[in-house]
């Protein structure tokens, strides 16, 4: 026996088939299109967040690089201003004369000047220079100060000062003169 409503509804089988077809289409759309679309949308949002984070990181790195470039430029300018031109070893006698003249300006009496054997490196030669003489302690300290100011290529190695009750004393200095590297065959006269 058939349901009376279904009996009046003559095309119920067609309608059920249509509803089933609609159900299948909805399932296909949901599982075949909509769900992957939603999943893809979630992936896109995650990638957008990652991109934003990486852009922030890039901004931080660019700021750091910019600061480093400014610091490098500042150091380069500082280095350019501190360039010391080294004289050739052949001008050793002139340099010894300049040291003796400076000592005379400082009212020191130089008894001995002598240059030692040069030690060569790839970029410079180091020549030890010995100075000894007499003068007051104040004049010796002023000589050391002027030595530093006037001769950027000379570094102080050792200082010996001995005094006497009358205010005069003896000094012995060992300095290192930095000269340009030697060329083949160049000799130092000491």
Confidence of residue 68 (pLDDT cuts 50, 70, 90): very high
Rg of the chain (C-alpha set)? 45
The answer to whether the CB of 102 falls within 8 A of the CB of 150 is yes
Q: How is domain 89-179 classified at the CATH fold level? A: Alpha-Beta Plaits (3.30.70)
Query: Is the pLDDT reported for residue 11 higher than 80?
Result: no
State residue 84's pLDDT score: 78
Q: How much is the average pLDDT of 19-33?
A: 78
Which of the residue ranges 27-31, 80-84, 89-93 has the most confident prediction, judged by mean pLDDT? Answer: 89-93
Half-sphere exposure of 76 (CA within 13 A, CB side): 6
Confidence of residue 146 (pLDDT cuts 50, 70, 90): very high
State residue 10's pLDDT score: 61
The answer to whether the CB of 102 falls within 8 A of the CB of 145 is no
Closest by Cα among 154, 162, 97 to 135: 162
Query: Is the pLDDT reported for residue 141 higher than 90?
Result: no
Q: How much is the average pLDDT of 183-190?
A: 49
111-127 pLDDT tens trace: 999 999 999 888 889 99
Cβ of 136: how many Cβ atoms within 10 Å? 17
Question: What would the DSSP string read from start to end of 22-58?
Answer: HHHHHHHIIIIIIHHHHHHHHHHHHHHHHHHHHHHHH
**Domain-by-domain residue ranges, the chain?**
4-81, 89-179
Confidence of residue 5 (pLDDT cuts 50, 70, 90): low
State residue 78's pLDDT score: 79
């Amino acid at each position: 026996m058939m349901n009376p409503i279904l009996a009046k509804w003559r095309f119920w089988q067609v309608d059920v088939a249509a509803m089933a077809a609609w159900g299948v289409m909805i399932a296909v759309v949901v599982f075949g299109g909509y769900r992957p679309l939603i999943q893809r949308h979630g992936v896109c949002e995650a990638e957008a967040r990652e991109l934003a984070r990486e852009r922030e990181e890039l901004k931080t790195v660019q700021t750091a690089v910019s600061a480093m470039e400014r610091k490098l430029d500042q150091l380069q300018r500082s280095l350019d201003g501190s360039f010391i031109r080294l004289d050739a070893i052949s001008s050793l006698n002139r340099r010894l004369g300049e040291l003796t003249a400076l000592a005379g300006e400082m009212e020191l009496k130089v008894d001995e000047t002598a240059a030692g054997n040069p030690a060569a490196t790839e970029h410079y030669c180091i020549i030890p220079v010995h100075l000894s003489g007499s003068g007051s302690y104040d004049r010796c300290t002023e000589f050391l100060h002027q030595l530093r100011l006037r001769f950027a290529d000379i570094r102080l190695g050792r200082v010996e000062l001995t005094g006497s009750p009358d205010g005069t004393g003896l000094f012995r200095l060992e300095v290192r003169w930095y000269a340009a590297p030697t060329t083949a065959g160049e000799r130092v006269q000491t």
